[in-house]
Structure 1
Amino acid sequence: MKPAEQYLTKSREILDKVAAQQSRIEQVADQFAKTILAGKMVHVFGSGHSRMMTEEMWPRYGSFPGFNPIVELSLSFHNLVIGANGQRQAMFLENVSGLADRILRNYDLTEEDSALVISSSGCNVVPIEMAEVFQKRGVKVVGLISRDHSEPSSSKREDGKKLQDFSDIVLDTGAPLGDAMVNIEGLDTPVAPGSTVGGCLIINSIKAEVAQRLTDAGHPPKVLSSAAIVGSERAVELFESAYDEHAHRIAKYYEQVGKA
């Protein structure tokens, strides 16, 4: 089988693994819709390459307000690779205890909020502590991991706990141990990771389910839409109103920060 065929075959297997989680995806959508309908936000966090999942949720075409993408550049700014702001520093900081608490110190969280924390391994300190702090502050946490990779892997926390230990619901990207899915003859290490495929499938499945729940409740979301579909005037209207709604929602999380 050619390398591209291997990857596509493995990706189809991931699609099946995601489809098998339909009931849990619907459970997550129930929770997230409840949060958004209450005027609150679903906080989405991923460090390293898991940052891509936060941006897949919002803001992009086909997405809508109600999600707060927490992207910490010190943990996810990879394009320089080496030197200042390089990958070595990001990977180091990803396992610095206490950083998660500093990040969430910026928000006045409520028990009506929800959180989605993404970490393929579920073993790095910052994502684990993000989930832990969310739970301590009464926020329901959904963890998105690769089970086949996480379960045999060792946590970077001294107590051995992983992201799934601080998650009310756990979803699985379906990616294999090590993430990479394609074996090349003559190369002793596999290439082409799969967690992004499974992660994007799950993110957008949740998004679609939440959109239906909001619409059924009489509050259809303001979806960022292409002018090719809705026309230029309507596209601009949707973008502006969606961004305004995001601003109004997120502003509430700053008003009482630091106050007793």
Structure 2
Amino acid sequence: MSISREYLEKCRNLIDTIAGQEPAIQQAAGWFAGTILAGRMVQVFGSGHSRIMVEEMWPRYGSFPGFNPIVELSLTFHNLVVGANGQRQAMFLENVPGLAERILRNFALNDQDSALVISSSGCNVVPIEMAELFQQRGLKVVALVSKQHSEASTSKRADGKKLTDFADLVLDTGAPPGDAMVRVPGLDTPVSPGSTVGGAMIVNSLKAEIAALLTEAGQPPKVLSGSAVVGPERAVSLFESAYDEHAHRLARLYQGL
């Protein structure tokens, strides 16, 4: 078997892991749909490369309003790697106590909101504190982690608690400890991570379930759709109306600050 085929086979195993979580995915989708039907927003947070799943949820083709993507550039901007705005600083800031509270100071949350917090290890301080603060404000919190990786990792938080300790529900990407899934002969460290693949499948499974629930409730979502599917005029109309709806929902998160 080629190395690339080995990686793809391991990705097939991720599908099985995620399919086994169907009841939990449906439970999370029910909470999130309830938030959207109430006119509120699902708060979606991830630092580091977990930002990928935040933006996979919204906004992109095949997604719809109802999600507030909380992406802090200081925690997620990896392009320069070194120098100003480099990776070392981002990794340091991920573990600064109190930063999560500063971020959430920008939003007036209530118990109709809900949250999806994404962290492969579930061991960095900011995502942990984010989930803790969401729970303190009465939000249902869904954690998206790599369970094996989280269990094999040590929390950076002083009390040893992890993201999963502040979650009402935990979803698992299925990725192994260390995330990388393939061993190359002659190389002593594995390559090719799996958490992004597993995380994207879970996020889009949630999206599909939520869309179904909203449609069944008589509030079909305004889905960002390509002109190749719906024609150029409808595509523009959907984008504009979806962005307007996002703005209106987001405005409610600033009321009462």
Same fold judged by TM-score > 0.5?
A: yes
Q: Distance in 1 between matches of 2:77 and 2:174?
A: 26
CA–CA distance in 1 between the matches of 2:201 and 2:117?
A: 16
* 2:105 corresponds to: 105
Aligned to 1:228: 228
Q: Which one-letter code corresponds to 2:213 in the other structure?
A: R
Q: What does residue 219 of structure 2 align with?
A: 219
Count of residue correspondences: 257
Q: Measure how far apart 1:24 and its partner are.
A: 0.2
Displacement after TM superposition at 1:93 (Å): 0.1
Give the whole-Å Cα distance in 2 for the aligned partners of 1:136 and 1:252: 19
- 2:30 maps to which residue? 30
What aligned pairs does 1:122-161 form with structure 2 within 5 A after superposition? 122-161=122-161
Q: Secondary structure at the match of 1:255?
A: coil
Root-mean-square deviation (Å): 0.4
Aligned to 1:19: 19
Distance in 2 (CA, whole Å) between partners of 1:139 and 1:251 is 18
Deviation at 1:3, TM superposition (A): 1.1
Q: Matched residues in 2 for 1:6 and 1:125: separation?
A: 34
Q: Distance in 1 between matches of 2:113 and 2:253?
A: 11
* 1:1-260 equivalence runs, <5 A: 1-257=1-257
Query: What do the CA deviations read for 1:48-92 (whole angstroms, capped 9, x no partner)?
Result: 000000000000000000000000000000000000000000000
- Which blocks of at least 5 consecutive residues in structure 1 are unaligned? none
What amino acid maps onto 2:47 in structure 1? Answer: S
Query: 1:12-57 CA distances to partner (integer Å, 9 max, x unpaired)?
Result: 0001000000000000000000000000000000000000000000
AA partner of residue 146 (structure 1): S
Q: Distance in 2 between matches of 1:255 and 1:171?
A: 32
Give CA-to-partner distance per residue, 1:150-174, whole Å, 9 cap, x none: 0121000111100000000000000
Give deviations 1:87-123, integer Å, cap 9, x for gaps: 0000000000000000000000000000000000000
Same amino acid, percent of matched pairs:
72
Paired AA for residue 36 in structure 1: I
Amino acid at match of 1:42: V
In structure 2, distance between residues paired with 1:39 and 1:193: 37
Cα separation, 1, equivalents of 2:137 and 2:33: 20
Q: Please give the alpha-carbon distance, in whole angstroms, between the structure 1 residues aligned to 2:135 and 2:255.
A: 21
- SS of the residue corresponding to residue 211 of structure 1 reads helix
For 2:192 and 2:222, locate their aligned partners in 1 and report how far apart those are by CA, in whole Å: 35
C-alpha distance in 2 between matches for 1:208 and 1:148 = 26
| 1:255 positional shift | 2.0
Q: Offset of 1:256 from its aligned partner?
A: 1.1
Query: Unpaired runs of 5+ in structure 2?
Result: none
